[in-house]
Each structure stands twice: as structure tokens, then as C-alpha cells.
Amino acid sequence: MNAETMVQMVGADLLKLRKKRGTLIWALVLAVGSQVVFFVVGALQHSSDPLHNAPVGGVNGLRHGLDLLCFFVGPLAAVLIGTEAGAGDSSAGVFRDLVVTGRSRLALFASRVPAALAMTVPLVTLGFAAMCAGIFLFAGSEPLPAVSTLAWCYAFALLANGLLCLVAVGLSSLLNSKPATITALIGWQLVLSPVIIGVSSLGATRELLLDAPLLHVDPVRAGHPEIAMSLIAVLVTVIAWPLVAATLGAWRTRTMDA
């Protein structure tokens, strides 16, 4: 298979995602809408009671906004996109029609990955832009973050959401079910993982969680990670999660009855 065909396949997967309006609207609400709601509500609270509510923008706003974008609501958007990319063909019943073209199943799986990322990046960018607008508009007397800090935060947001998107592509290809994948990932990332991270008796075992290295490299928590990790442990965990998910997804795509 030549590069031109692969580019066309990625373009086709991107087309499928782009035209899935319901998913796209929900992803936008989660990535961008959550930021808008957070800053608008914070600004209203500050204007109604400035003594008890600090300005929502500035450095303080960056910390909360980034948590929202990278650990709480933003990843849901990445999960929606990744799940749609991974299980969209199967759930529409179209996978078999792609298989009968004779194209390798691994190629069919591989084209989903860049398409999902290509959809996630602009969503994260829009969410980040909304956050930056809130930080500057509602800074009040709060200090503003440096441009270099914002650049690191943007890179971190892409990393955190990109990783979860890749995991979602792999897991949904493995499970062949959008509801099961979304439920499993939301339950894991938003409920179980934060709980396990907080159980200090588990010690270094917690380094296996995806949140552990992300908290370690989070620019606004720099120097105050929840779990102390070596750089190698950070790299291994960050690479292992999407790699294992993608391997399982590719295996399932290659071997399942279509």
C-alpha cells in the first residue's frame, strides 16, 4: 500500500468523524463549553461578592482551567472522538464492506489513529483558546501566566487528551462497542483512577496509572507531583498505555469475524 492510499484512508476516516455531528457537538460542549461555563460562573461570583471570591482568571484560572481540560471534562471529548474512530465502522455494519476490498485489516485500523488525533487536536485547541480568553478577560488583580507557561500548558493539554484519544481508539476497536468503551474509560479515568492515586499505601504500583505521569509533568503542578516518578517511569507509562491499547485493538481488528 502506498502513502497516497494511506492519506486517502485517513481522510476518509476524518470525513466520517467530521460529519458525525452529534458526537462533534458533545465533544465541543465538553471541551469548550465547560471552560466557558467555568469562567463565566467564576466571573459572576467574583462580581457579586469580590471579598469572598477571587478573580477567576490569571494564574489561578490557568490551574483550574487546565485541570478541567486535561483531567476532568476535556478527556471526555477525546474519549468520544477516539471511540467513534475505533468502533464507528463496526457499529455502522460497514467494517465488513471495507474488509471485502482486500485491504489489510491492520491498515484499516492504522488509518483510524491519525484521523482521531486530527479531530482531537482542534477540539483541544479550541478548549485551550477558551481557557486563555477566560484567564486574560477575568484576571482582575491576579497575575497573568507567562507566554512560555501557556505554551507548555498547551503542549500538556495535547499530550493528555491525545493519549486518552489513542487509548479510546484501541479499546473501542478491541471491544467493538461504543457504549462499553465510553463507560469503561469514563469510569476508569474519572472515578477509579483518582481514587487509586490517592491510596498512598499502594506505593509505586500507582505509577502504572495513566494519571500518574500526567500529574508528574503537569506544568502548573511542577515540583508538586502526587507520586514521585523517575523520568524513565514517566516515559514508559506514557508510551505503554496507548501502545498496549493500540496493539489489542489492532489484534482484534485483524482476527475478528467481520
**Does position 20 bind another protein by CB under 8 A?**
yes
* Nearer Cβ to another protein (35/90): 90
**Does position 103 bind another protein by CB under 8 A?**
yes
Site track for another protein across 73-92, x = CB under 8 A: ---------------x---x
When binding is defined by CB under 8 A, the residue of 3, 100, 147, 232 that contacts another protein is 100
The span from the CA of 10 to the CA of 24, in Å, is 18
Q: In which residue are the cell numbers 471526555 written?
A: 76
Q: In which residue are the cell numbers 487546565 written?
A: 66
Distance of CA 170 to the CA centre of its chain: 13
The span from the CA of 72 to the CA of 12, in Å, is 30
**Does position 3 bind another protein by CB under 8 A?**
no
Nearest C-alpha neighbor of 209 from the set 218, 222, 196, 198? 196
* Nearer Cβ to another protein (82/88): 88
The span from the CA of 60 to the CA of 55, in Å, is 8
* Nearer Cβ to another protein (5/230): 5
Q: In the bound complex, what is the minimum distance in angstroms from residue 7's beta carbon to another protein?
A: 9
Stretch touching another protein by CB under 8 A, among 1-9, 53-61, 159-167, 232-240: 1-9
**Does position 194 bind another protein by CB under 8 A?**
no
Take residue 239 and report the three cell numbers written for it: 508510551
When binding is defined by CB under 8 A, the residue of 121, 196, 197, 258 that contacts another protein is 258
Site track for another protein across 198-237, x = CB under 8 A: ----------------------------------------
**Does position 47 bind another protein by CB under 8 A?**
no
Instruction: Give contact residues for another protein (rule: CB under 8 A).
Output: 4-5, 8-9, 11-12, 15-16, 19-21, 88, 92-94, 96-104, 108, 257-258
